[in-house]
Structure 1
């Protein structure tokens, strides 16, 4: 039976409507897509490439804690 692991993914949208995705567990693990579905498929491939470079994910240098929204007065 294949093992599975969940990875946190941050999704943002730029001014042109492109979805920018990243996985904070890996430094430099980013991708994009013109739909959320495309972006998610692309980040899946990027995460796999990062895992190929770091086969033992337990050695990741950071641990994802969560996201918070911070409001600043401008």
Structure 2
């Protein structure tokens, strides 16, 4: 999964994974945003797999 990350004008970092709709998070640092988006993506994928 490709993580896209950018810094907002207010200094926060936003990270998202486009091929997983809704997987988008903010963080106070680049590293925090990446860690949070990875954790959310893992949860979304696990829940999706449970429904199959």
Fold shared by both chains (TM-score > 0.5): yes
Q: Which has the higher strand share?
A: 2
Count of residue correspondences: 50
Q: Any gaps of 5 or more consecutive residues in structure 1?
A: 1-6, 57-74
Q: Any gaps of 5 or more consecutive residues in structure 2?
A: none
Bigger Rg, structure 1 or 2: 1
- Normalising by the residue count of structure 2, what TM-score does the alignment of the two structures yield? 0.82
> RCO (CA 8 Å, sep 6+): is it higher in 1 or 2?
2
Structure 1 runs (4+) deviating above 4 angstroms are none
- Normalising by the residue count of structure 1, what TM-score does the alignment of the two structures yield? 0.61
